[in-house]
Structure 1
Amino acid sequence: MKIKSIKTAFLVLAMGAISLPSCKKVLDYDSESNSSTTVVFGSLNSTNTALIAVYNRLIGDNGYGSRISTLFGVSADDFRTSGSYGADDRRGLSMYGASPNNTDLINPFAQLYSGVERANLCIKFIPESQLYANGSATEQATMRRYLGEALALRAQFYYELIRNWGDVPQRFKSAAYEDNLFPPNANRDETYDVIIEDLKTAAELVPWRSDIQEYGSFRYTKGAIKALRARIALARGGYSLRTETKMMERRADYLKYYQIAFEECQEIIANPAQHDLNPVFENVFKTLHGTRMDSAHELMFEVAAFGGNSNTDSKLGYYNGLRFNSASEYGQGGGGMVAIPTYFYEFDKRDLRRDVTLGVFEINANSKKIINTLNNMSDAKFRKSWTAFNKNSTSQTFAVNWPMIRFSDVLLMFAEADNEINPQPSAAAIAALKKVQDRAYGGATPADLPAIPTNKADFFNAIVKERLLEFGGEGMRKYDLIRWNLINSKFQETRTKLADLIAGTGAYTNVPEIVYTKESNYNLSPSSDEVASMDLFGGTANVVLYQLGQATTPTGYTARNWRKSLTTENQLTSTSTGFAFYFEPNKKELFPYPNTALNQNTNMKQNFGYVGL
């Protein structure tokens, strides 16, 4: 029975790989007609094919091509899903009111476990292959690299499962070799500890980027694996909603994991020839759209999108990103995520990240840009206009990659870990934070900006703020707030800020209710220039959006609601659109398990916040 099961599993594995057309050179492969384990792992080409089938579980509509990237990580104090609440659709996820029947949960859940199963097969059979044990030096090194990649991929799948569902069932062997095909929920700490150790091994097996240049940033290299290990270590050392106590807690030995993150990030930073900051923030995201503009290799690992289909491509720039009117020459695109209105004013007006991150303008039916209303700004790191799209095509896929790990994250994880394990931040931690800030302001921090704090508490708060500004729209903020146990307090803080913004009080006293605008040319110039060249009565956005305006519409201009677009109902009290309306602390930090999964595996238990639904 087990022999039959494993042959069937490998047939599925091989078919999954063979069916993938690839326009990313690094994901090319040669297929084998025979899918037996001996053949699959008997050559470098077919082993690579099996490994590509594991990478395939990252992408597509049910991976980081859509749902995991653009739904799972919202809402936080940066972005939310557009539209009105429904418990069984994407808005239910964003408003923390998803039901176990939510249709956007089950397929990603299943795909992540499919990735675990495929990785398990590679992890078992690569070390058993003749090439691994007796091949040439080159063959053995390549097979070891493949094993390291499989370990890293399995760690990523489990990390995604844990941060969304908590104590998920674990299996570190293929189902064909397990006696219990329906494992119960497993303690997440134990799962984390296994994958953290796996990643230590993987980093020893996989070379640095420069030693396997053909991989680019589409496959795991040593730096990316170390960064992933640091990220998972911080999650292991952070807070999470505990099954036993039903409270947000972190373990007593949490500093052990901050130390791991510190050491991994320190080693990456010590190798700037491998990875460094891209000097231009915007170019990091343009690179994801096809034209490589990242010679510093800030993008350490991207989820590659290709093929123009729902299984291997992404809907980045179509579902989310800068909004394009369907009648424009660009065709429909963007708008699936909208900014929390206060997020715009979290940025210093001189911070170049603001206009890359936020869709301050949209493209109208005349293919011109026009300022958005304050309640309708989209995320903007993904833009259909940055791709080589066919203007006559109705395609929803543009081969836009997802940024899984960036070097700026390494710098900020290092600074955070250093500060946590020491009495106060070291000079190196301060320098790491400053490096990120300097890039944000075009290479030199203005002298009138506050100095970076040197005491522990204030430095931590500076990290919390910097990560908000650096990673907006990249699906990280929600999970940061959870691991810091700040999600409830930050939500309360955001609601207070929204109330002040609606009323035009406090920090928002000078925010105008209405702005007056004309449509203007969309030049595809740098984002800060695009925003600065919007036609607004009274000057540039950095003037008009920070001062009270006149009460009547100037001749030739159109009134556009800015602060006036916000109401207490649409931002706070509405059961359909109120900010994180259904969030409950110590209940909704995790998703519900899909009912379909619970029905198939009766040994699993539903998460506490959803029992009885």
Structure 2
Amino acid sequence: MKRILFALLLIQLSGCDTLDLVPVSQRSVEGFYRTPTQLNQAIMGCYNGLRNALVSQQYSYMLTESRSDNTFQSLDYNDGNITRFSETSFLPVLYTAWSNSYNKIQRCNKVLEELPNVSLSEDLARQYEGEAKFIRALLYFDMVRFWGGVPVVTTSLTIAEGYAVSRNSVDEVYQQIEKDLADAAQLLPASYDNANRGRATRWAAKGFLGKVLVYQSGYPLNKNRWNEAAGFLKEVIDSGQFEFFESYAAIFRHQNEWGRQSVFSLAFKSGAEGEGNSFPTRNAPNFISRTEVPFGGSPYQLFLSAGLLESFEPGDLRKDAAITSQWTHTSGEIIKTMPFSRKYLDGPVAAANDWDINWIALRYDDVLMLYAESLNEIGYDGNGEAFSILNRIRHRAGLKPKTAVEVSSQQAYRLWMESERRWEFCFENQRWFDLVRTDRALEVMTAFLKGYGLEAAMQSRDRYYYPIPQSAIDINSKLIQNPGYE
């Protein structure tokens, strides 16, 4: 996959920048989609767009991890406003996220439109359709969690059409995501050869479909889709294609980047015109010794909250695997007051922000824990599989198992799951989304912000979503602003 991905990437498939708020067709590419090779290049462009949206762009963590109680940024960067809940519709990172997302969605739409015009084998045509729908679903999955209802656009638009789109409801966006993933699960192959590894499989589609159904069962839709979610997640578990790593730290090592702990990963390669992974650099302190982090860290690093550090149970192996508590300044001083995330800080690196290590977009552990959560929502069982799964997670972390005596109800299990997911997936851009879907964000973040004198900042559940970027509204007045930001 890496060989294909980085030889053919960076084909521009979208319209001019001023129209990025919605997908707009680009007449200059009309002659491009004619051969199987060109179509494969276009699919690689879709994967590149997904990597960009979920990892490479700074908004991928600014709008997720920086929003949660895992971090706190006091300076006036974009994520400084986000972490203090003081953002407005004029915040630049919001328009970047909005326009980039639709830019990448347009790539998928264009592939799907041109697919019938290219002579392909039936299997390859099905695969390309499944890949484009899978990627489009993941892009919309982030958008609906950032802004709530957004315009659902599944075709290329003319300029006039782009100015006229309006917002769909949250339910309608999820319906499109679910449809795309369900289609992908039917269209995609179960596996690929090594030359094509990293492409989406039917298991990746089913895993994300299960996750999307979990989210629909939570805030704001509160649909009871737990049985369906459990069914898809169980299919992934029963497939035998994936592995529970007995070492937590090993999940994020370069030597295991194609390991079976990953249901779906985004491929990165250093030394290939900016196609490396920026995640390890941006989490490290700006003035860290080059002997500890080659080429140093970033001024935009995630600053970890004391609340997260203090929340780990004594002896939890995940803490040291995920966090570096002590490091050396370029001056030689030993710093003990600025811990940072060390996840994925491994493997070849060609320059700052240019690491050769994949990003796991869906971990097998996530599938297991979402399945356990679904089982608990279907019915609490103090001796059931939901307990076994979380205790397996705890055993790997070096912690004692919990029993029904300690976790004696469905609600108690929910809070246990919330804590385990915080520790398990810290710095993987999940904590904020978890708090919102369980409708715990208002309570948790109000208490967290109180420690900084900002308890009034988390005004209501309106803050579960970001404001629609003002520049998008200025271009298209049909884009009605989210409540609380007028």
Q: TM-score, normalised by structure 1?
A: 0.70
- Against the structure 1 CA distance between its residues 399 and 324, is the aligned structure 2 distance closer, same or farther, given a 3 Å change threshold? farther
How far 1:124 sits from its partner (Å)? 2.4
- Distance verdict in 2 for CA 1:280–1:25, change over 3 Å: farther
1:359 aligns with 2:324: yes
Amino acid at match of 1:46: Q
| Structure 1 unpaired stretches of 5+ | 1-22, 132-138, 241-249, 497-570
Paired residue for 1:99, among 66, 88, 96? 88
Distance 1:76 1:431, change over 3 A: farther
Given that residues 391 and 401 in structure 2 are in contact (C-alpha distance below 8 angstroms), is that contact kept between their aligned partners in structure 1? no
Partner of 2:309: 344
> Are 1:379 and 2:341 matched, yes or no?
yes
Change in Cα spacing, 1:35 to 1:280, as seen in structure 2 (3 Å) is farther
Is 2:416 aligned against 1:491?
no
Is 2:156 aligned against 1:281? no
1:317 matched to 2:310? The reply is: no
| 1: CA distance, partners of 2:391 / 2:404 | 11
Deviation, structure 1 residue 470: 0.4
Matches of 1:478 and 1:27 in 2, distance apart?
A: 31
Per the alignment, residue 59 of structure 2 pairs with 68
2:425 alignment partner, one of 453, 468, 471: 471
Specify which of 137, 141, 149 is matched with residue 167 of structure 1.
149
The correspondence for 1:223, drawn from 193, 203, 206, is 203
Q: CA deviation at 1:489?
A: 1.3
Determine helix, strand or coil for the equivalent of 1:480.
helix
Q: 1:165 to 1:197 in 2, by over 3 A?
A: same
Verify the 8 A CA contact 1:41 1:126 in the aligned structure 2: no
Shift of 1:197: 1.9
Residue of structure 1 in register with 2:73 after alignment: 82
Aligned to 1:562: none
SS in 2 for 1:319: helix
Kindly report which structure 2 residues correspond to 1:172-571, keeping only aligned pairs within 5 A, or say none. 172-176=154-158, 179=161, 181-209=163-191, 211-216=192-197, 218-240=198-220, 250-251=221-222, 254-255=223-224, 257-272=225-240, 274-287=241-254, 291-292=255-256, 295=259, 297-306=260-269, 312-321=275-284, 325=288, 330-334=294-298, 336-365=301-330, 370=334, 372-373=336-337, 376-383=338-345, 386-389=346-349, 395-424=352-381, 427-441=384-398, 445-446=399-400, 453=407, 455-494=409-448, 571=451
Shift of 1:446: 3.5
Stretches of structure 2 that go unaligned for 5 or more consecutive residues are 12-26
| Structure 2 counterpart of 1:153 | 135
Compared with structure 1, are the counterparts of its residues 129 and 318 closer, same or farther at alpha carbon in structure 2 (3 Å cutoff)? Answer: same
The answer to whether the Cα contact below 8 Å between 1:117 and 1:175 also exists between their aligned partners in 2 is: no
CA displacement at 1:493 relative to structure 2: 4.2
SS at match of 2:461: coil
Query: Distance in 2 between the 1:233 and 1:426 partners?
Result: 25
Contact kept? 2:270, 2:277, Cα under 8 Å: no
Kindly state the Cα deviation for residue 130 of structure 1 after the two structures are TM-superposed.
3.3
Aligned to 2:3: 25
Q: Is the 8 A contact 2:261 2:365 kept in 1?
A: yes
Aligned letter for 1:284? I
Q: 5 Å matches for 1:126-141?
A: 126-131=115-120, 139-141=121-123
Q: Against the structure 1 CA distance between its residues 41 and 452, is the aligned structure 2 distance closer, same or farther, given a 3 Å change threshold? A: farther
Cα displacement string for residues 223-252 of structure 1 (whole angstroms, at most 9, x for unaligned residues): 211111122222222113xxxxxxxxx34x
2:42 matches 1:55 = no
Deviations 1:123-161 (A, max 9, x none): 222245432xxxxxxx22122111101101010111111
Shift of 1:583: 2.3
**Could you tell me how far apart the structure 1 residues matched to 2:233 and 2:244 are?**
14
Give the secondary structure class of the aligned counterpart of 1:610.
coil
Letter in structure 1 aligned against 2:315: R
Amino acid at match of 1:303: L
SS at match of 2:166: coil
1:447/1:258 CA distance change after superposition, 3 Å = closer
What displacement does 1:426 show?
A: 7.1
How has the CA–CA distance of structure 1 residues 423 and 328 changed in structure 2, closer, same or farther, with 3 Å as cutoff?
closer
Distance in structure 2 (CA, Å) of the matches to 1:119 and 1:448: 45
- With 327-336 and 221-230 compared, the bigger mean Cα shift is at 327-336
Q: Percent identity?
A: 22
Q: Please, which moves more after superposition, 309-318 or 147-156?
A: 309-318
Q: 2:145–2:465: 8 Å Cα contact kept in structure 1? A: yes
- Matching residue's letter, 2:58: R
Identify if the C-alpha distance between structure 1 residues 308 and 588 changes in structure 2 by more than 3 Å, giving closer, same or farther: farther
How many Å apart are 1:430 and its aligned residue?
2.2
**Conserved? CA contact 2:185–2:206, under 8 Å:** yes
- Quote the offset at 1:170 in angstroms: 1.3
Q: CA deviation at 1:366?
A: 6.0
**Native 8 Å contact 1:334 1:378 kept in 2:** no
Tell me the distance in 2 between the aligned counterparts of 1:483 and 1:448.
25
User: In the TM superposition, what is the alpha-carbon distance from 1:24 to its structure 2 partner?
Assistant: 1.8
**Cα distance per residue 1:472-498 (max 9 Å; x no partner):** 1111010110010001111244467xx
Q: CA deviation at 1:75?
A: 3.8
Alignment pair present for 1:114 and 2:103: yes
What SS does the aligned partner of 2:268 have? Answer: coil
- Structure 1 residue 36: deviation in Å? 6.5
Task: Identify if the C-alpha distance between structure 1 residues 96 and 411 changes in structure 2 by more than 3 Å, giving closer, same or farther.
Answer: same
Supply the AA of the counterpart residue of 1:470: E
Q: Deviations over 1:85-142 (max 9, x none)?
A: 46xx2211222211212121212211110111111111222245432xxxxxxx2212
Which range moves more in the overlay, 229-238 or 478-487? 229-238
- Please give the alpha-carbon distance, in whole angstroms, between the structure 2 residues aligned to 1:286 and 1:584: 40
Partner residue, 2:460: 585
Q: Structure 1 residue 355: deviation in Å?
A: 0.7
Check 1:124–1:422 CA distance in 2 against 1; reply closer, same or farther (3 A cut).
farther
1:598 corresponds in structure 2 to: 473
Structure 1 pair 447/270, CA: closer, same or farther in 2 (3 Å)? closer
From 435, 439, 452, the equivalent of 1:572 is 452
User: How far apart are 1:449 and its partner, in Å?
Assistant: 8.6
- Tell me what 1:502 maps to: none
Secondary structure at the aligned position of 1:185 is classed as coil
Whether contact under 8 Å (2:382, 2:404) holds in the other structure is: no
Alignment partner of 1:40: what SS?
coil
Quote how far apart the aligned CAs of 1:28 are.
Answer: 5.0
How many angstroms does 1:168 deviate by? 0.8
